[in-house]
Amino acid sequence: MKNKIQELRQEHHVTQAELADQLQVSRQTIISLERGKYNASLMLAHRLATYFNTTIEDIFTFEEE
């Protein structure tokens, strides 16, 4: 699954640490999400969408493997 988290974070001038703090996750979680090494839970995806004022579908691109 691909995502636009890094792109959105940079557009909003937010550091990984700031985003992690706002979402109540570790900075390592944000790093792993941005690198595609971790897929967000539905709850985390919802919190990301709410934080960036967008939809889950706009952040995450599902790809068949």
The tens-digit pLDDT sequence of the chain (65 residues) is 899 999 999 999 999 999 999 999 999 999 999 999 999 999 999 999 999 999 999 999 987 76
Whose tokens are 């700031």? That residue is: 18
pTM of the predicted model as reported, rounded to 2 decimal places: 0.90
Give the C-alpha separation, 40 to 42, whole Å.
6
Domains defined for the chain, CATH in brackets: 2-55 (1.10.260.40)
pLDDT at 63: 77
Give me the DSSP letters along 20-65: HHHHTS-HHHHHHHHHTSSPPPHHHHHHHHHHTTS-HHHHEE----
pLDDT at 62: 83
